[in-house]
């Protein structure tokens, strides 16, 4: 029975990475224009939210990004099982990953609060709801998502990569990608382009797992090998 459960977990964990990456990108794309408007004039946001298509797209994007955040917990638990061991790094990875989700959901809520409220209010003929505050919440959402959440994501990727390298559960190419992704996300997150570093790295982990990368067993002398 235990062996069967372990097999199911092993087969399912690659899809946690794939599902997170797909939902994350699917949610981020409709929000790209809104995120890219950070620092623009109030008139830019007024014009953006005046269009029904923009409001509906933002709402759907927010839903996709929120689902990605929930799926990330599944991905996080799978990673934690892979890198479990002595030392503080597994705990750092868990804390940083959890904080990333909290900031992701909070930033997502700030980004879609106005389009969601105006869409909901429009159904009850309250067309003036939140008019005059269009610029504040989206820009707050940008800071939460593109800056603070990306810093936590960078810390998460770095902690996972170092721990996975120490326990020889990632091949060299994935370790190198992890180090590069952590820097890319941390530095370029505020440019919006850096947000894509997170799903690319997660998808790479999922591909590694799909290829049967379950980690290397330590030999009898206790020296863990490093996967090629």
Q: What is the pLDDT of residue 54?
A: 86
Q: What is the pLDDT of residue 88?
A: 87
The 3 state secondary structure assigned to 33-83 is HHHCCCCCCHHHHHHHHHCHHHHHHHHHHHHHHHHHHHHHHHHHHHHHHHH
Q: What is the pLDDT of residue 135?
A: 75
Whole-Å CA distances, 41 to 5, 47, 107, 206:
55, 10, 20, 41
Q: What is the pLDDT of residue 41?
A: 77
Q: What is the pLDDT of residue 127?
A: 56
Q: What is the pLDDT of residue 224?
A: 43
- CA 124, 128, 130, 134 dihedral sign is positive
Q: What is the pLDDT of residue 132?
A: 56
Q: What is the pLDDT of residue 87?
A: 80
pLDDT tens-digit profile, the chain (228 residues): 444 445 666 677 899 999 999 999 999 999 988 888 777 777 888 888 888 888 889 999 999 999 999 999 999 999 988 888 778 888 999 999 999 999 999 999 999 988 888 776 554 455 555 555 677 888 899 999 999 999 999 999 999 999 999 888 899 999 999 999 999 999 998 888 899 999 999 999 999 999 876 544 333 344 444 444
Paired tokens of 143 = 């800071």
CB atoms within 10 A of CB 219: 9
**Under 8 Å between Cβ of 186 and 178:** no
Q: What is the pLDDT of residue 173?
A: 95
Which residue's structure tokens are 């503080």? 88
Say how far apart CA 128 and CA 114 lie, in whole Å: 11
Q: What is the pLDDT of residue 122?
A: 56
Taking alpha carbons only, the member of 189, 177, 92 closest to residue 148 is 189
């Amino acid at each position: 029975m235990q062996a069967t459960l372990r097999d199911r977990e092993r087969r399912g964990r690659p899809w946690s990475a794939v599902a997170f990456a797909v939902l994350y990108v699917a949610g981020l794309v409709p929000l790209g224009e809104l995120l890219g408007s950070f620092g623009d004039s109030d008139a830019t946001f007024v014009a953006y939210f005046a269009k029904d298509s923009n409001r509906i797209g933002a709402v759907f994007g927010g839903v996709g990004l929120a689902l990605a955040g929930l799926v990330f917990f599944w991905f996080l638990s799978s990673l934690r099982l892979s890198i479990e061991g002595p030392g503080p790094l597994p705990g750092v990875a868990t804390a940083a990953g959890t904080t990333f989700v909290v900031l992701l959901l909070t930033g997502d809520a700030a980004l879609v609060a106005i389009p969601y409220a105006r869409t909901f209010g429009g159904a009850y003929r309250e067309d003036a709801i939140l008019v005059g505050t269009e610029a504040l919440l989206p820009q707050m959402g940008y800071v939460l998502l593109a800056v603070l959440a990306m810093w936590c994501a960078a810390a998460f990727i770095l902690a996972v990569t170092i721990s996975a390298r120490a326990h020889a559960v990632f091949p060299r190419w994935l370790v190198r990608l992890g180090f590069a992704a952590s820097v890319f996300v941390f530095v370029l997150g505020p440019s919006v382009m850096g947000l894509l570093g997170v799903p690319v790295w997660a998808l790479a982990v999922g591909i590694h797992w799909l290829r049967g990368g379950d980690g290397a067993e330590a030999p009898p002398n206790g020296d863990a090998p490093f996967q090629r």
